[in-house]
Amino acid sequence: MKTTTRFAPSPTGYLHIWSLRTVLYNYLFAKKNDGKFMLRIEDTDRTRLVEWSVENMLGVLAEVWLIPDEGPNNPGELGPYYQSERLDIYKKYVDQLLEQDKAYRCFCTSEELDQMRKEQEELGLPTKYDWRHRYLSPEEIKEKLDAGIAHTVRLKVPKNIEVTFEDSVKGKITVASKDIDDQVLLKTDGFPTYHMAALVDDHLMGVTHVIRGDEWIPSTPKHILLHEALGWEPPVYSHLPLLLGTDKKKLSKRTGDVAVENYLEKWYLNEALINYISLLGWNPKTTEEFFTLEELIDRFDISHVHKAGAVFDVERLNFFNAKYLKELSIDQLFSKFKLYLSRYDHEFLSIVENQNEIYVKKILEELSTRIQYFAQVKELTTFFFEEPNIPSEDILVNQKMKIEDINMVKKSLQVSLDILNSNDNLESIDNIKSAYIEWIKSAWMKNGQVLWPTRAVLSGEQFSPWALEMIYILGKQKSIQRIQNALDKIK
C-alpha cells in the first residue's frame, strides 16, 4: 500500500507553530517513503468555525513550500476534503454500527450530562458516561424516537479488555477498556464527532500513518476500538512531543507569537523557518544543524523523534534566519526585501523605490551581517531615507572618546568636513578610511574624537553603523550636507 499521511486541521484560526511542525513531519515522512501527503479540513464543529482560516492556512503552507499532493486547493480522486461535505458517508457507517449492536443511541440532555459529571466529581470518580442508555430496549428506543427526542450515537466500548497499540515515537501503549468512555460518534445536529469522521476519512482515503501531537494519545485507544468495530486495520500512529516555551511550559497563544503568519510578516526566510522547526523534537543523528528541505526529506526518520517536549526559542530561530540571510548575494537580498515590502509594507516600499537601487543595495549589504529578519530593516535604516535630527549634546559629547565639550564637537565636525571636501576618491570604505586616518593623525587628534560626532550627526541616533560605513552609503555630497547642517545648527 502506498504510504499516505495527512494533516487534518479544524479551521478555527491561524496556523500555529506546533501545527506547522506536524505538517512538516507528515510531509517529510511521506516524501521520504515515496508516498502522498494529503490535506483535509475537519469542519464538523460548526461553533468554532472561522471562515478565513482555510484560506490563511493554504497560503501559509504554499509560502513555506509544504504543498499537499491532494487537498482542497489541488483535488484528486479522494475528495471531497471538507468533512461537512461528507455527512452521508459518516451516517452510513454510524448506521452500520447501530445495526451490528456496536453502537447505541443516547437520549441524555446536556443538563443530565452536566449533572452526571458533577456527581462523579463530588465522589472523586473519573468523569465518563454512566451507560444509562446503553441498555435501552428496542421498545424504549422507538418510543423516544417517535417522541422526537434528540439523541447522539455512542460507541459500545467492550468491557474488561486491554487496548494495546505500538506508537512509533512513544513505544507500546496499553489502556484498560474500563478507562475508555463510550465516545459520541454522531452529535444531535447530525454532524459526526472528530473521532468518527477522522477515522472514516483515514480509512477511505488510504491513510497509512497518522502523525499528530501527543495530546491525541488518550483518544487513540478509542480509535483502535472503533477500527475494530468497523472491521478495519488501524494506521500506524506516531505522537509528537509537546512544543514548550522558553519557560518550559506548553507553548500557547498566551506565550507570545505562535501564529506562523506573524513570522512570515516579519519575513523569516522559508529555509530558516523550516530548518529550525524540523529540529524541534527530531534528532538528525549528526552535529550538523543546517539542512535544505531536500536534505531533510533524505534524513528524516520518525523513530528519531524525541519523547520529551522541545523548546521553541525565538532567539534560536533568529540565529538560523541570520545565517541564511548572510548567505544571500546582495542581488538575492534586494529581491527578497522588495518582495517582502510589496506584501507587508507598501508605504516603505514606495520610499525605497524612490531611491537609487545601488544606494539601497549598499544599505542592505551593511545590514546583512546584523539583521535577523527583514522587519528589522525599517527600524534600523530610518536615517538613510529621511533627514535626521541633530543629536542632543549628551550624545555628541563623549568623555571616553576624549570629546569633552560642544566646542570639541564642532572642531571634530569641521575636521570631518575638511576631509570630505578635500578628497574626491571616496568610492570605497578603504579609501574613506585611508583619507580619515591620515588627516586625523596629521591634526594630532584621536580617531574616535572625529568619528564619533561624525557618525552621530550623519544618523541622528545614539546607535547606528559606524561613521565610515555611513559615509560610504550616504555618499560624499549627502554626508557633507548633513555635517554642515549640524555645524550650522550647533553654532
Looking at 240, 271, 288, the residue that finishes a domain is: 240
Q: Are residues 8 and 144 in the same domain?
A: no
**Any domain includes 387:** no
CA 45/CA 374 separation, integer angstroms: 38
Burial of 7 (0-12, 13-18, 19+ CB in 10 A): buried
- Rounded to 10 degrees, what is the CA torsion of 441, 444, 448, 449? -140
Looking at 225, 240, 255, the residue that finishes a domain is: 240
CA 372/CA 269 separation, integer angstroms: 10
Q: Are residues 353 and 401 in the same domain?
A: no
What is the predicted pLDDT for the residue at 398? 84
Q: Are residues 361 and 480 in the same domain?
A: no
Q: Which residues does the chain have with pLDDT short of 50?
A: none
Q: Are residues 166 and 233 in the same domain?
A: yes
**Any domain includes 321:** no
What is the predicted pLDDT for the residue at 34? 97
Q: Are residues 234 and 369 in the same domain?
A: no
Nearest CA to 266 among 214, 210, 192, 325? 325
What is the predicted pLDDT for the residue at 256? 65
Q: Are residues 443 and 398 in the same domain?
A: yes
**Any domain includes 277:** yes
**Any domain includes 381:** no
Looking at 311, 342, 364, the residue that finishes a domain is: 311
Q: Are residues 250 and 228 in the same domain?
A: no
Residue 397 is part of a domain; what is its CATH number?
Answer: 1.10.10.350
**Any domain includes 228:** yes
CA 15/CA 21 separation, integer angstroms: 10
Q: Are residues 115 and 180 in the same domain?
A: yes
Active site members: 253
**Any domain includes 185:** yes
Q: Are residues 302 and 334 in the same domain?
A: no
Label the pairing between strands 209-213 and 236-240. Answer: parallel
- Rounded to 10 degrees, what is the CA torsion of 15, 240, 221, 104? 0
- Look at residue 249 and give its three-state secondary structure: coil
Q: Estimate to the nearest angstrom the gap between the alpha carbon of 33 and the chain centroid.
A: 25
What is the predicted pLDDT for the residue at 136? 93
Domain hosting 223: range is 86-240
**Any domain includes 383:** no
| Residue 457: half-sphere exposure toward Cβ, Cα within 13 Å | 27
Write out pLDDT tens, residues 328-353: 999 999 999 999 999 889 999 999 99
Q: Are 284 and 299 in contact (CB under 8 A)?
A: yes
Q: Are 45 and 10 in contact (CB under 8 A)?
A: yes
Residue 43 is part of a domain; what is its CATH number?
Answer: 3.40.50.620
pTM: 0.89
- Look at residue 454 and give its three-state secondary structure: helix
**Any domain includes 140:** yes
Q: Are residues 281 and 196 in the same domain?
A: no
Q: Are residues 191 and 232 in the same domain?
A: yes
Q: Are residues 228 and 113 in the same domain?
A: yes
Residues 6+ apart with CB under 8 A from 263: 17, 257, 273, 317, 373
- Number of domains the chain contains: 4
